[in-house]
Amino acid sequence: MSRLAARAPRPSTVTAGILLAGLAACSFASAGYVASQLVGDGASGMVVAFYESLFGLALLFAVNMRALSRGAQPPRNGILWGLAAGVAYAFAIGAFYTSLERIPFSVAAPITGAVPLASYAFVLLLLRGSERITRRAALGAAMVVAGVAMVGVSA
Categorise residue 103: left if φ over 0, alpha if ψ from -120 to 50, beta otherwise.
beta
Per run of 10 residues, the mean pLDDT along the chain (length 155 residues) is 56 88 90 91 91 92 88 84 90 93 86 75 73 79 78 68
For the CA atoms of the chain, what is the radius of gyration? 18
Structural contact between residues 2 and 130, judged by C-beta atoms closer than 8 angstroms: yes
CA-based nearest residue to 32, from 87, 132, 107, 127: 107
Angle, helix 76-99 to helix 11-40, in steps of 10 degrees = 40
Instruction: Give the three-class secondary structure for 20.
Output: helix
